[in-house]
Structure 1
Amino acid sequence: MGKSQNQRIEIIFPNGIELYVKRDDLLHPVISGNKFRKLKYNLQQAKFLGHTKLLTFGGAFSNHIVAVAGAGLSLGFETFGVIRGEELIDKINENPSLKCAQQNGMKFHFVDRTTYRDKSDKKFMESLHDLYGDFYLIPEGGTNELAVKGCEEILTATDKSTFDYVCTAVGTGGTIAGIINSSTEKQQIIGFSSLKGDFLSDVIRNFVQKENWNVNCDYHFGGYGKMTDELIGFLNAFYKQTNVPLDPVYTGKMMYGILDLIQKDYFPPKSKILAIHTGGLQGISGMNDLLRKKNKETINYND
């Protein structure tokens, strides 16, 4: 296992503002970032209950699917992934994320998008139990109470006493909920939504009691998994300037938002900001394949 560390972004910002990145992407080569945090107590619970199988859900480039497969291989669980999109069944070897998960032992169950939307349907869940027997269910994206508990460990005591603002990307809400729960009253927590729509706040409220947070929905770049030429250009330029790789689904959009808000004087002078790097870099290879097919600029961290 690697070690997370806070890396200062060596950019001169206006008004004496300082920006650091918590490099949780360095925690583990496969189970990196918030996935490591979210799975920690879920895997302990699965072991405690005597389960030998894990089942979860995800899309074509899911960090969560890759992480569950890697964790299962490491800890001796059989793993099963319910994958959104029947068209992917013959394209596993063309998809770096699914290929990695399969190499780590995961077996796939591909379903159409309508079925996937109704994945919590009782009859569908019964059909999965008929197919795979007894299993420990981990929700899509990994968010549940045990995941939130794991994410409460992201902030250290030093982080709580040092930083005025803590920023994180938001997908299913578990990561930011954990950060909110462990934050101090003097800190402000900002989530940057990678999805269209302002519904995540209601999800987050299921796990938190504090009010020192908000979700910014202005930097989703078209919605979940959507990319623009501007975003790709930003990722490449930011890496050249800082040597910090970001992903286009979550952390890239968050960082774009943070820098934009700094330029717009959103943060008070001399604010200290901590941005959480939640990993997700494994999905870049697949995203680049899509960009090449469209003759677009790719994400290049090899220079």
Structure 2
Amino acid sequence: MIQTIVLPDLSETQRASHRLDVYRGDLENRIAPGNKFHKLRYHLKEAEKLGAIHIATFGGAYSNHLHAFSKTVVNAGFAPLIIVRGELQIGLTPTLRDCADDGAVLFSTDRDDYRLGLESRVKNEVEQEYANVYWIAEGGGGELGVLGCRDWADSISAFSAGSDGASVTRLGSSNNQPYDTWCVASGTGTTAVGLACSNAVKRLQVFNALKGAEGIENTIEALTHDFIRTYDGISAQDVFSKMAFWHSRNCGRFGGLPDEIAEFLRALYVMNPELRLDPVYTGKLVYNIWRKIKENRWRFRSALIIHTGGLQGWRGVKRERIPYPEFL
């Protein structure tokens, strides 16, 4: 489904000059919504090809990736192993409790070791205890995650154009013209690279969701080079020329939700009661586009925002900042 967003507190001229549509990835795949399943799908195929019994990954205590990972892995017939950043608490977070209920085995590690990822001490310890383990980087990253997101971009493009014969559901919009740009929030950079590697995407605005993580551009460059070495059909220059990066100091730390963004999301909910945005990625993306429109610094007349899911992340937010009644 594609939905037009009605933004609060804009002038009539600003409202008429800019249209924001959102592709509701949060409505895809009940157990792994948004980009989550797309980043995992080729990893699952590779794990099956290699005869893996267990699939292991990394994530934080409220990680959307972990929440989707455990359910998807079990559904595919594998046993999930999860390395959690920091010490496990006696009272697990709702996210980790769901993972444990799915049958995932949880391991904790200190933050310094966690940062080493596939080179960490805890990875070696897990492999001494479990046989035939297939590893997925934090957030479902890597070349196979990019490949899944490239396919996702192709399917979104076909859906938005109606070229696959599907009946395109649009709320508040009947405009089927191509978009000036696509927009996506970035954490590991995997989804952004996948979208930019699709021929269907001509221009992509990448919004950094993490304060102090301006190095995401270097991460995306390295991941792009890794991907195109394996998968032909596009040059690194083609990919980089599509992308523009937006960094914001008002997004707060990862998982944090500053007051001004919480207030914006509450006002947005009043005007778009059927829309749900997550507090870590897409919610912050829409907030920053809104600010740029208000300041007359947004030059695109029509933009397609890719909703990457993650609504379960509201369970880690203080009640007074939550706009949606079902998460209170």
How many aligned residue pairs are there?
Answer: 288
TM-score (norm 2): 0.82
Query: Residue in 2 aligned with 1:201?
Result: 217
When residues 49 and 232 of structure 1 are mapped into structure 2, their CA distance, relative to the original with a 3 A threshold, is same
**Is 1:268 aligned to residue 266 of structure 2?**
no
Do the aligned partners of 1:7 and 1:23 also contact (CA within 8 Å) in 2? Answer: yes
Query: Residue in 2 aligned with 1:56?
Result: 57
TM-score (norm 1): 0.88
Do the aligned partners of 1:193 and 1:220 also contact (CA within 8 Å) in 2? Answer: no
- The runs of 5 or more residues in structure 2 that have no matched partner are 162-176, 225-235
- For each residue in 1:80-120, what CA deviation from the matched residue of structure 2 results, as whole angstroms up to 9, or x when unmatched? 1000121x33122xx11111111111110011222212333
Superposed, which structure 2 residues align to 1:281-296 within 5 Å?
A: 281-287=311-317, 291-292=318-319, 296=320
- For each residue in 1:215-234, what CA deviation from the matched residue of structure 2 results, as whole angstroms up to 9, or x when unmatched? 21115522211211111112
Is the partner of 1:190 in helix, strand or coil?
Answer: strand
CA RMSD of aligned residues (A): 2.1
1:246 to 277, 286, 290: 277
Query: Residue in 1 aligned with 2:174?
Result: none
Query: Residue in 1 aligned with 2:107?
Result: 109
- For each residue in 1:118-142, what CA deviation from the matched residue of structure 2 results, as whole angstroms up to 9, or x when unmatched? 3333644322200222211000011
Superposed, which structure 2 residues align to 1:208-227 within 5 Å?
A: 208=224, 209=236, 210=239, 211-218=241-248, 221-227=251-257
Query: Residue in 2 aligned with 1:6?
Result: 2
Query: Residue in 2 aligned with 1:233?
Result: 263
Do the aligned partners of 1:219 and 1:253 also contact (CA within 8 Å) in 2? Answer: no
C-alpha distance in 1 between matches for 2:76 and 2:53: 10
C-alpha distance in 2 between matches for 1:299 and 1:248: 10
C-alpha distance in 1 between matches for 2:265 and 2:65: 22
Query: Residue in 2 aligned with 1:176?
Result: 192
Which amino acid is 1:30 matched to?
A: I
- The runs of 5 or more residues in structure 1 that have no matched partner are none
Query: Residue in 2 aligned with 1:300?
Result: 324
Query: Residue in 1 aligned with 2:150?
Result: 152
- For each residue in 1:26-78, what CA deviation from the matched residue of structure 2 results, as whole angstroms up to 9, or x when unmatched? 11222111111101111111112211210000001001111110101211110
**Bigger CA drift: 49-58 or 220-229?**
220-229
Q: CA deviation at 1:250?
A: 0.8
- For each residue in 1:201-258, what CA deviation from the matched residue of structure 2 results, as whole angstroms up to 9, or x when unmatched? 1111124322111221115522211211111112222122112111111111111011
Query: Residue in 2 aligned with 1:26?
Result: 27
C-alpha distance in 1 between matches for 2:144 and 2:219: 15
C-alpha distance in 2 between matches for 1:219 and 1:28: 32
Query: Residue in 1 aligned with 2:164?
Result: none
Is the partner of 2:35 in helix, strand or coil?
Answer: helix
Query: Residue in 1 aligned with 2:233?
Result: none
Q: Percent identity?
A: 33
